[in-house]
Amino acid sequence: MAGAAAIPDYQIYDSHVHVWEHNPQFPFATGANVPAEDASPEELLRLMAANGIAKTVIIQVIHYRYDNSYLANVLRRFPDKFVGVCRVDPLYPAAPEHLKQLTEQGFQGVRLSPAGDGTGDWIRGPLMPRLWKGCGDLGVPMTLLAPITRMEGIQRLIEKHPNLTVVIDHMADCPVDQPEKLNSLLALASHPKVFVKISHTWSLSKQSYPWLDAQELVKRLYHRFGPERLMWGTDWPIAKDRATYSQRLTVVRDAMGFLSDEDKRWILSDTILRVWPKLNRI
């Protein structure tokens, strides 16, 4: 594609990565299924430098569950490169207080991940309104890893907390062969503080790079939300067998022909700054 290699005149931010290390100082949660290979911040920084990524949002990985100590340590070690999103236990009545403590330590948001089966029904339970209100009071975003089947329930929470910034991860992992299911995510576009990460094209696709079947989902989100509410992210190092770090960038920067240069500026940079303005201050 002509101009694909052009250097943008703005900083590119990655809205979604994970890090972990086999380090006895920071033990994994009991029962965690952790890959043998580390995903260290040093390796992440190397990839960022090689691909022109200025700064990154690190999401607390499930391997540590609700102990955010390792990520807090990474943020202290590299304060000019990363901001962090924590996890709190959604079944813990004191989760709002825990979230407040973590934001006082510098975390810039919380992630919840309700499963699609009955184990995730807590998203509809009595503990959610107070946690969502607490998140709004703290002025940090609520990020959600949730399957497309959870969008209607999540919409009800959004309607009760219209001033809270909400980020839906990975296009809600809508199956490419069931595109009608995307309608429940598209319906959230009527709420101006809802944002969507257009990541996981590689995981959702049944094709090879540039994953054109999954790009059809991105197109529909683009037309409904606009670039100002879409953001890219690598989800590194998840699904390394499906896509390299570089491909996760180039699929948006170079291979989505329906995006203008201005659209890419939003999706690769400005939208992410709307949600995590601290990236511009570190």
Burial 33-43 (b: 16+ CB within 10 A, else e): ebeeeebbbee
Identify the pLDDT of residue 211: 98
Spans of the chain, pLDDT less than 50: 1-4
| CA-CA-CA-CA dihedral for 39, 165, 213, 51, to nearest 10 | -40
Identify the pLDDT of residue 8: 84
Q: What is the DSSP letter of 271?
A: H
Could you tell me the CA-to-CA distances from 145 to 37, 55, 108, 114, 162 in Å, in that order? Answer: 23, 22, 16, 7, 19
All structural domains of the chain, each given as residue ranges with its CATH number in brackets, are 12-280 (3.20.20.140)
Identify the pLDDT of residue 6: 64
